[in-house]
Amino acid sequence: MDNKITDKLRILADAAKYDVSCSSSGGKRKNENKGLGNAEGMGICHSYTEDGRCVSLLKILLTNFCIFDCAYCVTRKSNDIKRAAFTVQEVVDLTINFYRRNYIEGLFLSSGIFKNADYTMERLVRVAKKLRQEEKFNGYIHLKTIPGASEELIKEAGLYADRLSVNIELPSEKSLKQLAPEKNYAEVLQPMGAISKQLVLAKEEQKLFKSAPAFAPAGQSTQLIVGASAEDDRQILQLSNQLYKGYNLKRVYYSGYVPISTDIRLPIITEPPIIRENRIYQADWLMRFYGFDVQEIVDEQHPNLDLDIDPKLSWALRNRHAFPVELNTADYELILRVPGIGVKSAKKIVSARRFAPLQFDHLRKMGVVLKRAKYFVTCQTKSLQRQDFDSHYIRQKILFGGGSVRSALLTQQLDLFQQAS
């Protein structure tokens, strides 16, 4: 086997894996030129890593040589690791050959910063251009935008890429200054603003001329590292909220900080904050798909999400006055706010109740999960639970009651405790 290319792939996949975005959906690129690939519609996860993350794209760095020294990053210049760089042609060959075998949906290309921002950005754009123009490739391309790159290069990148992203990395300017001395918020937000501007422009042009070129049709996203700096969940979620509203972001990704470095600027942790990361994602979903305002999820009294229970349940326990919800008459928006009921179940409920008054039996058959919901709903004024339990009691019941996921762990602990006493 070609050892050189294998070694490069090892090093540059290793270096890229902490960027969590792997989405391949939302593109509108059809295969109209009898070329290779099609990126319209749904994304596809072609495999899953052993940590359970989707593998949809060939996610690599063009190079891990970097002039920056960001504390949280494996690729920082002071880190003593092997360095490598792909040529443009090598990336093109890997992408095409993986794609033809149905391993991937496309390419996610990022890079360490060598020489300067524009020089690096120009190389990334060249890969995308070659794939589109020479290989007639219509698969998905996600390009990382290098902070500080010129607007012309960003504009060109958007012509070839389906998605562009700039990573904010740290949830506040203060942390960024501490951990990534060469970066600043202005330099990160400037390309984000430029992309946002181009997205709006391209949409308007396409309204006027159908043939106007698309600009990054799958939009832009960013990533925040969780747990490498001191911000609470409230600061993180407020920032996300601003980004969704102010920059038209499609997604904010949260990456639980994996202790990859012993840099003194970083907190000492042994395990990545996976549960916290999960709760933040849940809160993010509540903002985007469930009609929740960020203030309802976290506020001054509750600046951090409850790690034991999901944020929707947590909100419901703080707002018992909104319940119980009568599933036969309540608005869809209110049903969505019931803990344990998701978008699909809510839609089914609203659809089915037009035909017959719903009973709990109907809900069970439809697959509506009642473990948490039963404390907050009625069906034809009937209830599966007394509704006068206090919030603390419900919380305990859900966490430790029969059928709870945790009960096995807890009983084990209790057994040990009893043996000891």
The piece of 11-19, 149-157, 166-174, 389-397 that touches another protein (CB under 8 A) is 11-19
d(CA 265, CA 326): 52
Q: Which is nearer to another protein, 73 or 125 (CB)?
A: 73
Q: Which is nearer to another protein, 201 or 274 (CB)?
A: 274
Q: How far is the CB of 98 from another protein (least distance, A)?
A: 6
Q: How far is the CB of 216 from another protein (least distance, A)?
A: 21
d(CA 71, CA 266): 7
Contact 225, 257 (CB under 8 A): yes
Contact 63, 83 (CB under 8 A): yes
Q: Which is nearer to another protein, 12 or 336 (CB)?
A: 12
Q: Which is nearer to another protein, 178 or 407 (CB)?
A: 407
Tokens at 175, concatenated? 């942390």
User: Can residue 81 be called a binding residue for another protein (CB under 8 A)?
Assistant: no
Tokens at 410, concatenated? 């807890």
Contact 175, 230 (CB under 8 A): yes
User: Considering only residues 120-139, where is the footprint of another protein by CB under 8 A?
Assistant: 136
User: Considering only residues 231-270, where is the footprint of another protein by CB under 8 A?
Assistant: 256, 258-259
User: Can residue 230 be called a binding residue for another protein (CB under 8 A)?
Assistant: no
The binding track of 384-403 with respect to another protein, each residue x by CB under 8 A or -, is --------------------
Angle (CA) 346-347-348 rounded to 5° is 90
For 391-420, give one letter per residue: b (16+ CB within 10 A) or e.
Answer: eeebbebbeeeeeeeeeeeeeeeeeeeeee
The residue type of 156 is E
Q: Which is nearer to another protein, 279 or 362 (CB)?
A: 362
183 backbone dihedrals φ, ψ, rounded to 5°:
-105, 155
d(CA 291, CA 334): 10
User: Can residue 370 be called a binding residue for another protein (CB under 8 A)?
Assistant: no
Sign (positive/negative) of CA torsion 212, 145, 18, 239? negative
Q: Which is nearer to another protein, 53 or 245 (CB)?
A: 53
Contact 95, 131 (CB under 8 A): yes
User: Considering only residues 137-176, where is the footprint of another protein by CB under 8 A?
Assistant: none
- Residue 107 is classified by DSSP as E
Q: Which member of 88, 193, 232, 272 binds another protein (CB under 8 A)?
A: 272
Q: Which member of 4, 28, 103, 415 binds another protein (CB under 8 A)?
A: 103
User: Can residue 85 be called a binding residue for another protein (CB under 8 A)?
Assistant: no
User: Can residue 13 be called a binding residue for another protein (CB under 8 A)?
Assistant: yes
CA distances from 13 to 18, 36, 120, 134 (A): 10, 24, 18, 25
User: Can residue 201 be called a binding residue for another protein (CB under 8 A)?
Assistant: no
Q: Which is nearer to another protein, 14 or 182 (CB)?
A: 14
User: Can residue 10 be called a binding residue for another protein (CB under 8 A)?
Assistant: yes
| Residues of this chain that bind another protein (CB under 8 A) | 1-2, 5-6, 9-10, 13-14, 16-18, 30-31, 34-38, 42, 44-55, 58-59, 94, 97-98, 100-103, 136, 256, 258-259, 271-272, 274, 348, 351-352, 354-356, 358, 362, 365-366
